[in-house]
A = this chain, B = another copy of it.
């Protein structure tokens, strides 16, 4: 949905594909319709629903012959059940993929911070996915969440340096508060977040979805990022 996140997702697919020449790469079709109404506004404030625009995107991909669909927008997954209705092509679940990566890396009962849009936080999608795997979601405080929201908006507006500072600051506070890991649960965040800098494992939903997509498409294990 965010064009930069979509472009970065495509870059990650290319990087993760073992290839020496064009013909070794995946056949990729991208439907990037940025006019899809704001997902968080729709969920929280009864804004225009993004569902029909997202369904048009899915239909375009199905009609074009897609064998597998990935949606590199966490907040869009609020509607994943509706999007899957009547669609025979498998649609990967980014939330499940990311939560599973956290569960594979962290001990039972670990506390995982979730950096995401307010819509995602309110939907509790990550909270439920983590709980089902024996992990606890830790959401930012209202003041921290405001920084996260401004960071996400800043990435979309192209002010990357300021956005990075806001997001990194929240990451550091959450680690100081004792979280065991951090989920980057909005695909704008990995475009600027420095995962090495926070000192706990970071689960980047954008890279994890890209890796899962390549694995499914090729039936081989992609290299770690």
Contacts and interface: CB of A to CB of B under 8 A. Distances in A.
Interface of A: 1-4, 6-7, 10-11, 14, 19-38, 60, 63-64, 153, 156-158
Contacts of A11: 4, 7, 11
Contacts of A30: 10, 28-30, 32
A25 B3 contact: yes
Contact of A27 (B20, B33, B63): B33
Number of this chain's copies in the complex? 2
A26 B34 contact: yes
B32 A3 contact: no
* Main SS at interface, chain A: mixed
B34 A27 contact: yes
Contacts of A4: 11, 14
Q: What are the 5 A-B residue pairs with the smallest beta carbon separation, nearest first?
A: A25-B34, A30-B30, A22-B34, A28-B32, A3-B25
Contacts of A10: 3, 6-7, 10, 30, 32
A60 B60 CA distance: 9
B157 A21 contact: yes
A161 B197 CA distance: 27
Nearest to A59: B64
Contacts of A22: 1-3, 34, 36, 38, 156
Contacts of A14: 3-4, 7
Contacts of A1: 22
